[in-house]
Amino acid sequence: MTKKIAPYGTWISPVTTKLMTEAAIGLSVLAIDGDDLYWLESRPSEAGRMALCKRSGDGEISDVTPMPASVGSRVHEYGGGAYAVKDGFIVFSERKDGSVFVVEQAGATPRKLATPEGCRYADFEFDFPRRRVLAIREDHRSRPPTDPKAAIVALSLDQDGEHVLVEGPDFLSSPRLSPDAQSLAWIAWNHPDMPWDSTELFLSPLSAEGFPGEGLPGGAKTFSGGVRQSITQPRWSQDGILHFSSDRTGWWNLYALRDGAIEPVAPIEAEIGAPHWVFGQRSYGFLPDGRIIAAIVQNGIRTAAIIDGGKIHPLEIGQVHEAPLALGEGLALIATPTTQSAFVAILPSLTQSTAPAVVRTGAPRVLPEGSISTGEPMDFPTRGTIGHAFWYPPVNENYAGLEGELPPLVVLSHGGPTSMTTNGFSLSIQWWTTRGFGVVDVNYGGSTGFGRPYRESLNGTWGIVDVEDCAAAAQALASRGLVDKERIVIRGGSAGGFTTLAALTSTNVFKAGASLYGVADLKLLASDTHKFESRYLDGLIGPLPQAEALYMERSPIHHIDRLSCPLIFFQGAEDKTVPPNQADTMVEAIAARGLPVAYYLFEGEGHGFRQAETLRRVLDLELGFYGRVFGFTPPGLSEEPVIRNEAKKA
């Protein structure tokens, strides 16, 4: 087939805003209960609500939570761990008001538990012998809004209230009950540490009434061994051995606690674990025969493996979202392939080479193979070391660029910044590549997935290392003749938005940018954010007030004079993590200097956009913005951006 010749950025794409906002859904958090399979679906077309879905053993799929219920937690603002299932019982948190519901049998109407207003709950664990559910509680009732109190509590299934089991540390996580219900493990940490800096593992026997405490035989013990480490994801095996992930060697690996001694399970220079951004993460689990199944991250790619007798045996099932779960004689998993959207699937057998049965897909398979851009792992020189990214060339089977023209490049700076990107299929990336843009998704210094030293390379250098790595990735592609160095843009959300703004006020590599709920004023962020991140900048920049000069130097808001290119801002009006005043201040300062700037504030949106209409507008407005900046006309836009101080065309 003869391809149409058209300027990059103007290609007609099968990835439409309707597909992105109505047909596409997010899939996450698998759980197994007998033959039943559960997962969460984020649905932009339903006002961004999160639905709990179930596939019963007979194959029937249904919503456990009907409209308008939205399963979610706002503990630590990022939530996670919003539901649990066991022996036919389901417990979940309602995102909007933090209330907790229980479903006691299939098809039953959810029943609200007696929890006080002003409290949020997450990370549920059933304790059936005592007719209760354990949970992390974040109490906002009588504390300053920036300092809610953390506790592990027991919620009664019989409507007689709740009891505090553990309190004291600034943060608590992962209450995990032993199989015999006689011991409780949990994680704790305190300011100024973040959970990927240093945490402690606690283990305590329980009284007959189910309370841990120092007065019990053995008391509550910690198992950090004096080593500064990030311990995450404690979990009990069927035979009552406590396992956990720790990065004490520089990599999150698995350990087992046997007779008070900590034993490595299967050492590897890769990550079996993840930073504790959200509750309920699962990087490993146990098969019925006692073997361990794990999700292992190497070079930004997460695959599955079986751990047996200290040996790691890779599973040839592609990339996964989290560790698969045992279902019958096979596995249930969320697959994240590079050529189609994520899907929930069941692998019938571990012993046979059987194709997985797809249960639910994240989006219709609308892209023909010839229009899919696959992320190619890319290493590049930066800061005297090696940086990591994924490169997506522009691909559309119906189009080719003009002779002699190079494509524009979109540089993605992920959030966190202690996070990572991978090359699983993403419609949000294909949105750009099918229109003729190249995309580079950068795992800059500070990213997870490359060991603790790489992660800590951002300590004290946020706004420097991340910026240098994003710029170096773009320059490496330009030097190879793959992209147009005069049409390089950078975009990012949250911490990635800060990197975007810092890059645009400290380098000349980028010719335009988009900040989605990004940080502009670091000192303002430190004084006006939620508890979980209120001391995050101590490590990334330095403690206040000692490092006040550094906060000023690194904050993009104080360097508008260095900005020389157009910017577009997108912000949620209800964002508690990066409040709107950050964007407001930056936009007005840019406009006052006469630079082109566009700003969109979305009512009803918080930190990260959920609603279909918001997502549609962001897609069209950002694409239209780049078209206006670089002089091409993207087809099919439903809305043109309003740009202040836009240069008039002759």
* pLDDT in the model for residue 475: 98
How far is residue 405's CA from residue 227's CA, in Å, rounded to a whole number? 55
pLDDT given for residue 127 in this prediction: 97
φ, ψ (nearest 5 deg) of residue 549: -65, -35
Three-state helix/strand/coil letters over 189-224: ECCCCCCCCCCEEEEEEECCCCCECCCCCCCCEECC
Q: What is the 3-state secondary structure (H, E, C) of 17-79?
A: HHHHHHHCCEEEEEEEECCEEEEEEEEHHHCCEEEEEEECCCCCEEECCCCCCCECCCCCCCC
- Give me the pLDDT at residue 373, please: 97
Domain 33-279 -> CATH class: mainly beta
Q: Domain limits of the chain? A: 4-15+367-630, 33-279, 282-362
pLDDT of residue 217: 62
* Long-range own/partner contacts, residues 167-172 (CB < 8 A, 24 or more apart): 170/531, 171/76, 171/195, 171/532, 172/136
What is each CA distance from 387 to 138, 274, 481, 501, in whole angstroms?
38, 20, 19, 20
User: Does the pTM exceed 0.85?
Assistant: yes
Beta bridge partners of 441: 390, 412
Phi, psi of 428, deg, nearest 5: -65, -25
> Would strands 4-5 and 399-400 be described as parallel, antiparallel, or unpaired?
parallel
* Phi, psi at 346, each rounded to 5°: -120, 125
State the DSSP code for 608: B
Positions in the chain whose pLDDT score sits under 50: 650
The strands making up 242-246's β-sheet, listed across from edge to edge, are: 231-236, 242-246, 253-258, 261-264
Cα-based angle 419, 422, 423 (whole degrees, multiple of 5): 160
Shortest CA distance to 572 belongs to which of 23, 48, 15?
48
Bridge partners of 38? 31, 54
**Percent composition of the chain: helix, strand, coil (DSSP 3-state, to 5):** 15, 35, 50
Tokens standing for 372? 């899919």
Query: What is the identity of the amino acid at 394?
Result: P
**Which H/E stretch holds residue 459?**
none
Residues 26/650, Cβ–Cβ less than 8 Å: no
CATH architecture of 4-15+367-630: 3-Layer(aba) Sandwich (3.40)
Cα–Cα distances (Å) from 277 to 102, 192, 387, 434, 532, in that order, read 25, 16, 23, 32, 9
| Beta strand segments in 341-405, E | 343-347, 357-361, 376-382, 385-392, 399-400
- The β-bridge relationship of strands 357-361 and 376-382 is unpaired
Which element (helix H / strand E) includes 180? none
Residue type, 220: A
d(CA 432, CA 373): 10
CA distance readout (Å), 170 to 44, 148, 174, 192, 227: 34, 9, 14, 10, 20
Q: What is the dihedral angle through the alpha carbons of 548, 383, 482, 390, rounded to the nearest 10 degrees?
A: -80
Q: Are 284 and 245 in contact (CB under 8 A)?
A: yes
Rounded distance, CA 630 to CA 234, Å?
A: 51
Q: Nearest-CA neighbor of 435 among 515, 516, 373, 513?
A: 373
CA-nearest of 35, 59, 34, 184 to 123 is 184
Which of 529, 608, 532, 536 has the alpha carbon at shortest distance from 72? 608
Instruction: Give 586's strand partners.
Output: none
pLDDT of residue 650: 41
Domains 4-15+367-630 and 33-279 share a fold: no
In this structure, how many other beta carbons lie within 10 angstroms of the beta carbon of residue 105? 8
